[in-house]
Amino acid sequence: MFYFLDRYNMPASTLNMPVSLIYAKYYPFNDVSFAVELKKTCINAPFNNHLSEMKKIILIVFFNTSSIIWAQNRYSLAECIEYTLQNHPSIKVWKNNITITNKKAKQNLSGYLPQISGTATSIDNLNLQSSIITSDFLGPNPVELTMGSQYTTTAYLDATQSILDFSKVAKIKSSVANKEKSVLEQQQNEENIIYNTTSSFFKILIFKEQLNILNSNKIKYEGIYKILKYQQEKGIVLKKEVNRIQVNLNSVNYQIKDAETKLQLAYNTLKNAMGMPIDTPLEIETSNDYKNYLNRTEETLIIENIINYKLSENAVKQEENNLKQYKMESYPSLSAVGRFGYQSLNNEFSKIYDNKWNNFSYVGLSLNVPIFNGFMKKNQIDESKLRLENQIITLNIYKDDLKLNYENAKTSLGTAHSNYLSNQDNMELAKEVLEVTDYQYQRGVASLTDYLNDDTAYKNAQSDYLNSLFNLLINQLNYHQTKGTLQEFIHQIQ
């Protein structure tokens, strides 16, 4: 976005004003950086004599606005994680799972609430049942008597209220463990997607750092190549020297293209980890200051804070609830029952709803006592006991595994930190050696071979430094994940 200043549409008094003053007067702006560039470009420049300054202004405004738009798509690590927690598809899945668990809990609770159902029937008794009656009053011969009506219509409500049912109580109590499990699984999912987002973010940092190094080497080789090419044309150096630099230049160009490809793939991975569409523009904020990412903490492992351990404990609780439920299903259950209804009797179909409706009702108690079910309940209880035993054993094994993983992660982090510091010092040392060799080469004391050898050593040191930096970043994530403090660590480095 930019403005074009038309001097024909301005008062004559402005024709000899500096361009900067005209722009400030008729086109106010709030961008300080633009104002600084504008002042540098056209201070004291008469408007009617400096059209070239106008072109510069247009370019400045254009590039300045473009940089603002570009900066709006830059994400810090905190913003990437925030986007992930709001937009990753799995977040919705686990929220739905929590809602499903709550609905199941209400289903279990409904078993202890009144159960009411309505029934309506209309029956055509095609052949009424006959009965044979013998009586001295009716005479010596049996009399066949048909009782009932041709059409019977009945409508009634049945109501049941559980008074004492231990199995239903066990189901209601098990809902607490199920809710806890769904919440823990949601936290576990959030931790996993935060880990994936952060590791992908770190990969981009490393690739961008690599590109900075490669581009710096490219500029250096291009400068040397131009000098040697000129010296070759003057007959000072052999073509072989030029070719050696050309080989290094070709190699670094290939490495730059390869790094750019890997960087694009890393961006795609980050977008996928964030739940962002692949075709959405994305740029991350980068900094060469990795101190926040490299802080080491020596804290005591509190295994009860680890989400995976909490899930294993929850699995034990659920097996205990299952065992209680099987046992309580063998207990008697007591319920209150009742029926309220109306009945109509008629021998003509057209009048089945015309006759008087007779009401009927009853209330009572129903006691259900399980006596024998073919040993099914005993086998269910035995199976549940074995499952509970296995779950307790698995919990203890998993507890030892978590301690092992923590110790391994702590050791790997310590090694990665030492390697990082060592490679950082080695890279600085190789840089110093190369600078001395470069100084000697420029003055003819050192040969091109010496320079290229030290340059190769410096590039290798740079590569080792980047690899150790990435390993340290990833080991930091692994360490805090095994310790159950990943989200706290991410919060600290944001």
Pairing of strands 151-164, 74-75: unpaired
Whether 98 contacts 189, CB under 8 Å: no
Residue-wise pLDDT tens digits, 217-258: 999 999 999 999 998 898 888 899 899 999 999 999 999 999
Mean pLDDT of 177-185: 93
Higher pLDDT, 121 or 8: 121
Q: Could you give the strand order of the β-sheet that contains 358-368, starting from the edge strand earlier in sequence?
A: 115-124, 151-164, 333-346, 358-368
Q: Which has the closest alpha carbon to 57: 94, 78, 31, 83?
A: 31
Please, what's the b/e burial string for 185-221 (b: 16 or more CB within 10 A of its CB; e: otherwise)? bbeebbbbbbbbbbbbbbbbbbbbbbbebbeebbebb
Higher pLDDT, 148 or 258: 258
pLDDT band for 122, please (50, 70, 90 cuts). Answer: confident
Beta strands, E only, 280-382: 283-284, 333-346, 358-368
State both tokens at 486: 């990943």
pLDDT band for 460, please (50, 70, 90 cuts). Answer: very high
Residue-wise pLDDT tens digits, 97-107: 999 999 999 99
Residues 6+ apart with CB under 8 A from 122: 151, 152, 153, 154, 352
pLDDT attached to residue 192: 95
Is pLDDT of 178 > 80?
yes
d(CA 470, CA 203): 7
d(CA 162, CA 368): 11
Is pLDDT of 68 > 50?
no
Selection from 12-26, 42-56, 192-206 with the highest mean pLDDT: 192-206
Q: What is the DSSP string of 235-269?
A: TSS-HHHHHHHHHHHHHHHHHHHHHHHHHHHHHHH
Q: Which has the closest alpha carbon to 376: 419, 330, 442?
A: 330
Bridge partners for 362 per DSSP? 339
Q: Quick one: DSSP state of residue 295?
A: -
Is pLDDT of 50 > 80?
no
Query: What is the pTM for the complete model shown?
Result: 0.75
d(CA 334, CA 117): 19
* 433: helix, strand or coil: helix
pLDDT attached to residue 64: 44
Tell me, what amino acid is at 378? K
pLDDT attached to residue 356: 77
Is pLDDT of 55 > 90?
no
